[in-house]
Amino acid sequence: MLKRSQNGVWVLALALIGLALAGCAPTIAAAPAAPVAQVRAATPQEVYPRLPGDLGGGLILLDVRTPQEWAEDGHIAGATLIPLAELEARAAGELPQDAEIVVYCRSGNRSQQAAAFLVEAGYTDVSDMGGIYTLGVSPGTVIHDNHFHDVESFSYGGWGLYTDEGSTGIVMKNNLVYRCSRASFHQHYGKENRIENNILAFADEQQLQRTRTEPHISFFFERNLVYWDNDNPLLGSNWSDDNFRMDHNLYFRVGGKPVTFPGGLTFEQWQQQRHQDQHSIVADPGFVDSQKDDFRLKPNSPALQIGFEPFDLSQAGRQIPARLTADLPPVPTGFE
């Protein structure tokens, strides 16, 4: 997912499911002949094949989480732990400026700070990852009770929940996602994923994105709260077929502006002509204070009418010990 800024900085946005590193960022640093600050974006397909072979040969995988997160939540084999709070004191002695440095954390915030510091310190090719990213056939995978926010990109990328190539059988529920530069949810292509009971707010270019039409059901999108305050569309990219299922959702544009759908359809036309969102509503969900990132619901919120179940945002993140992968079942065969 490549994203380029005006000053030549590239940013990477994705996350590593196996460690529940949702939203933390690889930062790649390598000095070019003419020192121009860069943050380069990469996909998992680009990074993973280089591990562990390139580690120690010019590539450094930098984990800027705390030692407790490193120990309890797991970490990528071969990674280097330098907590963000110690990065300024340790970078010069431990991170060569001619190395590639891929930085990651847990939620994206610390990795963004680390990337900014490294550029300021003279590292001139820096990458960052953020949000949650999935690939392939993954029955039984449940991504839940996470808090993803401020997932930024300068061009391609910048999604919150991202089901990429062939993602299948994945459940994403009870996640709070807000301020993503591209969309709160994006599916490139996949099959029968379930996006349920999430709060998705304040995305920029569009709120939800679907890239590819498919001969099967792409995903089920149900009991979600989608809330935004700009004039960009609710649904972006490709919604030309009906091989997806949307229902029991709440949509609201701040200020009571009309909610429209692909083809300029009104909400009622969307229901009648496309047969989607038959039991969904357009209403203010009644957040306590969304401008201060307080997305708790006030009493008697209309969100309860659609079957939305409030979740405890204070419990976001891993609540159980990390589990080794040696005893997991084999990866199922993918599909074309």
* Residues identified as active-site: 105
13, 148 contact by CB (below 8 A): no
Length reported for the chain: 336
Q: 3-state DSSP call for residue 9? A: coil
- Phi and psi at residue 208, to the nearest 5°: -130, 140
Query: Do 78 and 51 meet the contact criterion of CB atoms below 8 Å apart?
Result: yes
- Distance, CA of 325 to CA of 79 (rounded, Å): 18
Q: How many CB atoms lie within 10 A of CB 297?
A: 17
Q: Which amino acid is at 187?
A: Q
Q: Label the pairing between strands 183-187 and 287-289.
A: unpaired
Rounded CA-CA distance 222/269 in Å is: 19
**What phi and psi values does residue 62 have, to the nearest 5 degrees?**
-105, 120
Q: Tell me the C-alpha distance between 225 and 306, whole Å.
A: 10
Region of residue 23 (left: phi > 0; alpha: psi -120 to 50; beta: else): left
Q: Let me know the angle formed at the C-alpha of 17 by 243 and 225, rounded to the nearest 5 degrees.
A: 50
Give the N- to C-terminal CA distance of the chain in Å, as an integer. Answer: 21
Instruction: Name the CA radius of gyration of the chain, rounded.
Output: 20
| Tokens of residue 164, six digits | 């990429």
* In 243-299, alpha helices (H): 267-274
